[in-house]
Amino acid sequence: MHPLIPAGWRGVILWLAAVTALPLVAADAPTRQRRLLIDHDGHLLFSTLTANYRADVDEEVRELPANVTTFLLCCGAGRMYFPTKVGLVDPNLKQLIAEHAKGNDPLGYFLAKLKASGRETFIEFRMNDVHNPTDANHWNLPLVREQHPEVIARPEAAARGDPEWMNWSLDFSQPKAAEYVTAMLHEVVERYAPVMDGLQLDWMRFPRHLSGVGDEVWAKREHLTRIVEMARALTLARGLKLAVRVPSTPRGCRVLGLDVADWVKRGLVDFVVVSEFLDTDYTMPIGEFRKMFGPAMPIYASMEIEHGWQAHCPESLRAFATGLYDSGADGISLFNFVGRYPFGAPPYDWLAGLESPATAARKPLLYSLPVNKYRKEMDQPAVLPVAVPAHSTVTLPLPVPGLALPAWRARLLLAADAPLAVSLNGQAVELVPTLHPTEMFVEFIPPANSFSNIGSHRPGKEQSHFYRFDSALLRAGANTLELRNETDNPVEVSRINLGLW
């Protein structure tokens, strides 16, 4: 047993180990509450704290728009943002450490102010954040990995210098890793239960938690289920909710060893957030989850700050929310929206209307087809980029949410090496050769030295091709794009946008 788990809780954990075959008693089945969730990367505040941290936090809470129902505040990554006795605090956060030395706790103050504002307040616990795992100053190195470097998912890959960050993810089938995260979760819940409503276990930041490949991972799923059981016992004891963020498909959950259907069946969680890794899709098979979970479990869909190689703008946020509502989501979770834009304040006005399917569908809307940027095995497959061979045709799916129709105007924008002949549902659409916009709507392009390299993927004028067509050609649901290359050279297509008015 981990020495940092308080003695009073050791009996609870041993009891859980003895009864894992029995269903835990859960609260009454929750209603499917409509939620708009902000999933806040705590680092974005705690790395910029001033000497007046209360004013910093007060501004963050005061500027939140009224339609945000639920706030999930990250309490740390590999290292923490609170005065932990189990783990370590990020050494780069000098002002935060200074406040801890004075007996202050900015994270606790933030939670208290959020709860006092009337919002549902959660701590988001990242199960395996492996940002920059080999950085020399170890700013994100969890204590258990410092003490036991062998407890990672792929030690052989790490040893040979494979740069994939998720090689360094904690392997929770190893007792030391599981005991560490158990102790961390216990500390978080016991410390902050009075100023929060629940806890979210984020299995998508980053999505690797067990060693092995393929069916080996699924065979070890009980190790992750035990952690969820333990977290449920902790939260039930304090009257708190428990949520999980998981892949966007049942197949993706299996890839990670997350038996979410079992967790729901046994009443271990109060709601589920489905998500891609570091990207946004506007269609997800939420209906498959609904069949697995039954009608009572709320399912929310997560949106990242980007969709492919594009930063979100108001039109794309509305479009993607509309698509996710159309897929069956009970609400929208915005991951890392706060602070990822280098503005004086988050552009919260962009979130207007996202709280419901009817208001999210307000035109205009901007859609994009999925691009292979950071996609991993547990994600839905990308469509782009695609190479269209010389004198050949490539067919691509173009799903359109029923909630987005009808539209009075529709346009396509392709980023490609050369213009292509395009058909939609068997009908040719018109290339407008005089128009070469690089964006359908006004978009924010991050500077080259920022958090993203989106700017380097912005198409030039000569790669931007604009098409117009009668919006009546669009069908709710499945549509088909045919891209015909009539040149003597292959043409690569890197971006496809659909605009609706």
H-helix or E-strand spanning residue 237: helix 222-237
* Per-residue pLDDT tens over the stretch 189-216: 999 999 999 999 999 999 999 999 999 9
Cis peptide before 385 (omega within 30 of 0): yes
Q: Are 364 and 441 in contact (CB under 8 A)?
A: yes
pLDDT category of residue 5 using cuts at 50, 70 and 90: very low
pLDDT band for position 444 (50/70/90)?
confident
Task: Give me the pLDDT at residue 137, please.
Answer: 86
- Tokens read off for 427: 């009908």
| pLDDT surpassing 90 at residue 11 | no
The burial of 307, by beta-carbon neighbours within 10 Å (0-12 exposed, 13-18 middle, 19 or more buried), is given as buried
The enclosing H or E element of 491 equals strand 491-500
Beta strands in 75-156 (DSSP E): 120-126
Question: Once rounded to an integer, what is the mean pLDDT over residues 424-443?
Answer: 97
pTM given for the model: 0.93
How confident is residue 445, by pLDDT bands cut at 50, 70 and 90? confident
Check pLDDT > 70 for residue 10.
no
pLDDT > 70: what percent of the chain? 93
Rounded Cα distance, 461 and 415, in Å: 9
Sole residue written with tokens 């002949």? 421
What is the band of 29 on the pLDDT scale with cuts at 50, 70, 90? very low
pLDDT category of residue 13 using cuts at 50, 70 and 90: very low
User: Distance between CA atoms of 231 and 472, rounded to whole angstroms?
Assistant: 51
Is residue 478 over pLDDT 60?
A: yes
Beta-strand ranges (E) seen in 113-202 are: 120-126, 198-202
What pLDDT does residue 339 have?
Answer: 65
Report the C-alpha gap between 442 and 482 in whole angstroms.
Answer: 27
Mean pLDDT (the chain, rounded) = 93
Phi first, then psi: what are they for 63, rounded to 5°? -85, -5
Vertex 201, ends 154 and 17: CA angle to 5°?
A: 80
Residues 460-481, mean pLDDT to the nearest whole number: 98
Residues composing the chain: 501
Backbone angles phi, psi at 175, to 5 degrees: -55, -40
Grade residue 435 by pLDDT with cuts at 50, 70 and 90.
Answer: very high
Q: What is the pLDDT of residue 22?
A: 37
pLDDT of 290-327, one tens digit each? 999 999 999 999 999 899 999 999 999 999 999 999 99
Give 488's pLDDT tier (boundaries 50, 70, 90): very high
For the cut 60, the answer to whether the pLDDT of residue 16 exceeds it is: no
Residue 67 has a pLDDT of 98
Return the pLDDT at 446.
81
| Cβ contact 87:73 at 8 Å | no
Distance in angstroms (rounded) separating the CA atoms of residues 494 and 385:
4
Contact residues for 369 (Cβ-Cβ < 8 A; gap 6+): 308, 383, 384, 396, 398, 495, 496
In this predicted structure, what is the pLDDT of residue 178? 98
Which residue in the block uniquely carries the two structure tokens 């783990």? 87
Secondary structure letter of residue 165 according to DSSP: G
Structure tokens at 465: 């091709």
pLDDT digits (tens, 9 = 90+) for 17-27: 433 333 333 44
Q: Looking at residue 266, what is its pLDDT?
A: 98
State residue 455's pLDDT score.
83
What pLDDT is stored for residue 454 in this prediction?
87
DSSP 392: E
State whether residue 42 is helix, strand or coil: coil
Q: Which of 24-38, 91-105, 179-193 has the lowest mean pLDDT?
A: 24-38
User: How far is 99 from 441, CA to CA, in rounded Å?
Assistant: 44
Q: Which residue is it, tokens 């981990």?
A: 2
Antiparallel, parallel or unpaired: β 120-126 and 198-202: parallel
pLDDT in tens, 140-171: 999 999 999 999 999 999 999 999 999 999 99
Is the pLDDT score of 342 beyond 80? no
For residue 450, name the pLDDT band (cuts at 50, 70, 90).
Answer: low
pLDDT at 344: 82
Q: Which residues contact 402 (CB under 8 A, 6 or more apart)?
A: 326, 476, 477
* Percentage of residues of the chain with pLDDT beyond 90: 87
Q: Which amino acid is at 271?
A: F
Q: Are 247 and 255 in contact (CB under 8 A)?
A: yes
Answer for the pair 205, 126: CB distance below 8 angstroms, yes or no: yes
Quick one: average pLDDT of 445-458?
79
For 380-397, how does the pLDDT look when each residue is reduced to its tens digit (9 = 90+)? 999 999 999 999 999 999
Query: For residue 410, what is the DSSP state?
Result: E
Per-residue pLDDT for 468 more than 70? yes
For the chain, domains (ranges, CATH) are 7-16+32-275 (3.20.20), 386-500 (2.60.120)
